[in-house]
Structure 1
Amino acid sequence: MDRLGNRVFLKKIERDGRKSSINGIVGVIQKVNGSYEWFKTNGTNCYGNATLTYHMEKVYDIISKNHFNSNPEVWHCNSCKTYDYFDGSYITFVEEEYFLENLQKCIENAYKKSKNDGSGYNLLKKK
């Protein structure tokens, strides 16, 4: 479970002769006191485009290690080596407002990754 009490599953489980797939995960960032700064910081890349930095020390290692883990790397900017926001990580972080306004897009992104059993990502499946 993460620090908010949500279950985190990245393993296959067999029950009654059936094997489950790994779950897709969307990391929804809660707005606190009107801001998301408790978890993310805005910045700029080498071309002046917007970037995000996450305070990964605020999440469990299994979450942190399944972020920025595309293989091969999926870059937003090849020169700056900044990861793609939606596909550069198995676990995509989104602001809660974005999640609520784009629910289907967020869920489809997570489902697509899980449907392929995490293919294209270096997954850490154990704590």
Structure 2
Amino acid sequence: MGQRHLLWKIGFYCYLQKNGVPIDISLAGLPFEEKVIQRTVLFEFEKGCYLNVCSAEDLVVLKVFANRSRDWMDVEGIITRQEGKLDSAYIVEQVIPLAEVKGSPEIVEKLKILFSSF
């Protein structure tokens, strides 16, 4: 069984575009993930091919929850690109229970500090 097939069985799939950019696809398992699906926005992936993608706020929440160095760099980039348009209160509100479940309450404070620096 290939790695992609195995990942799909556990609710996650990584697709590599022709230009080499990876796309992560996951199936909702947590209540927050169900909310992410409800809040998706339509994005034209290729001419005539539209995909529902998560909002910038929900992407920040997912990356903060992952809590990897590269994800924090991505969060900084998203905050910069969104130029004050992010709903930071919503993001923090969503991260708090996820951080508790994960046993990583420090990510909430790290996120608040990051928001205050912009």
TM-score norm. by structure 2 comes to: 0.38
TM-score norm. by structure 1 comes to: 0.36
Higher relative contact order (CA 8 A, sep 6+): 1
Which structure has greater helix proportion? 2
